[in-house]
Amino acid sequence: MSKIEGIPILSSEGSVLAIPMFILHHLQNSAQQHRIVSISIHRLKVSDMDRRRFIQTATIAGSSIAILDHTTLLSEDNQREQKPLSLARNPIVISTWDFKLPVNETAYGILNKGGRLLDAIQASINLVEADPTVTSVGHGGYPDRDGRLTLDACIMDEHGNAGSVACIENIMHPISVARCVMEKTPHVLLVGDGALQFALEQGFKKENLLTDQARAAYQEWLKSDEYKPPVDEKNHDTIGLLAMDTEGNLAGGCSTSGMAWKVHGRVGDSPLIGDGLYVDNEIGAATSTGLGEACIKVAGSFLVVESMRHGKSPAEACQIAVERVVQKQPQYKDIDDFLVGFVAMNKQGEVGALSYRKGLQYSLCKEGVNKVFDADYLIK
């Protein structure tokens, strides 16, 4: 008689066989998933009972069970030694807008060599943050109404860990600081002077990031002193990036300098987990762009992921979020240049994007090739 721990069952010849527990667990799981049978099991060893007690106590209720050839049964030790089949796949990287930089290609290259998701995301977003010609992220960003350049960023990994910074000044790479918040503190979000102090403690360099071009634009704006959020295809305020690695894991990041000429201290959706970015490695990931206040009011990126959880495609989920924005806040329909949009990817590697009105673009890198697409839009 085998010593495998299992459940005794009568063979067609009337002898008692032991069915290993791992096989019965598989049968139970299959039954629960497909609602075919209901199984009630008493965990007993063959040596603990004789044939008569087995007949009295072992029950398989309301079910039928296939006859198993005992020669095919594996021990649990042998089962553990078997390695799962490789699920390696090509990485996928999708990001908001076209920054005319090798953003997606950088992340794809790192992931294709087996690199970490967070390393790929951080390196790609660092490119945008360091470019002085990009006026809505990092170094080249436009200042607030007081002439101060404040930056926001967040990052979220495949395990649900997250870190973010908001209203941080004089630090070139807020996405890198956000990662440090995630990995080196028990917190998620640091803001303002506290975020700056933390960044300096982590070895980041304090520097003046306001470019001559941004300063000149600010001086020009002062002549009118009118606060009108300029969010359109020319001033697209956010780099949001989602990535899938070769094992099918998902992560994402966001970085922005926020609205030009904003009230000092204003924070949009970009550094807020669930608004500017959300990742659930079992379901998918989403990021947003456009008017941050509109996204915050509906927890936009979280809404997109939850819609995918309920069976919607990434494109359908993005549409649900955009529709929710204007349903809950109909005043946005009256703003001529109002824009809010979402980009999403599900666990199967399917992607989608949609904005309220025409203008949103997204970049997608698959199989080593990056292409820029015009997103669909709600108002035709």
- Catalytic annotation, residues: 238
Q: Are 296 and 267 in contact (CB under 8 A)?
A: no
Residue holding tokens 């001529």?
336
Q: Can you list the alpha helix ranges (DSSP code H) found in the chain?
A: 21-34, 51-57, 76-81, 103-112, 117-130, 174-184, 192-201, 212-222, 292-296, 300-309, 314-328
As a whole number of angstroms, the distance between CA 162 and CA 305 comes to: 16
As a whole number of angstroms, the distance between CA 107 and CA 211 comes to: 27
As a whole number of angstroms, the distance between CA 54 and CA 66 comes to: 19
Using CA atoms, how far residue 1 sits from 16, 17, 72, 93, in Å, is: 9, 8, 15, 55
Residues in the chain: 380
DSSP code, position 319: H
